[in-house]
Structure 1
């Protein structure tokens, strides 16, 4: 008397259901693990506290860009140092003074253009706060 598992026997049906349930559980655990390990976190490494951000407190300006949202304009420079790269938010005056290849942090002078940039940024921030 040999025992065979087939769909028609009760024990065969239970074995097949057990295997399918096991596969579903394993796939669910893999998905949960991937999400828990941070697959949804930013890959850029530019958030404050990251190694890249800390290593680029000084370095050379590699680029710059402006990001606008409902709270106003935000000015950023991309800084590179020893192979690390991160974006740093700066003031309008620093943004305007930043040149690709120049040193970061940006050193501002007391010129009239810097003062007018600071006044313009304060005006932009006040306008954004009103809306």
Structure 2
């Protein structure tokens, strides 16, 4: 029995979910709440390659009238490198438009991924010449 080709990975199955990646957009919703001129985005579900476009669209809708943007991560159960790239885009966008941004209330797996990527190099990595 043939299964659909994953449009994200070019494989028959999405390696993370054993389903077509087109299904992953259904696993993420974004609630936008405003507190004065501060916009609070609260994604719920998993931030991965197939679902990050939902966050991108929500962010684009805020650029004209938000003085600050807060990403409330309290309901994000999983994040992969696409989520890290989104956080980088959020930071760059904020800097470019002079809008303060923050990500708060991290759940365990997304927080651990963020910390892993942003951890200072270990002394052994420096000694091996792998990092400057």
TM-score (norm: length of structure 2): 0.23
Q: For the pair shown, which has the larger CA radius of gyration, 1 or 2?
A: 1
Structure number with higher helix proportion: 1
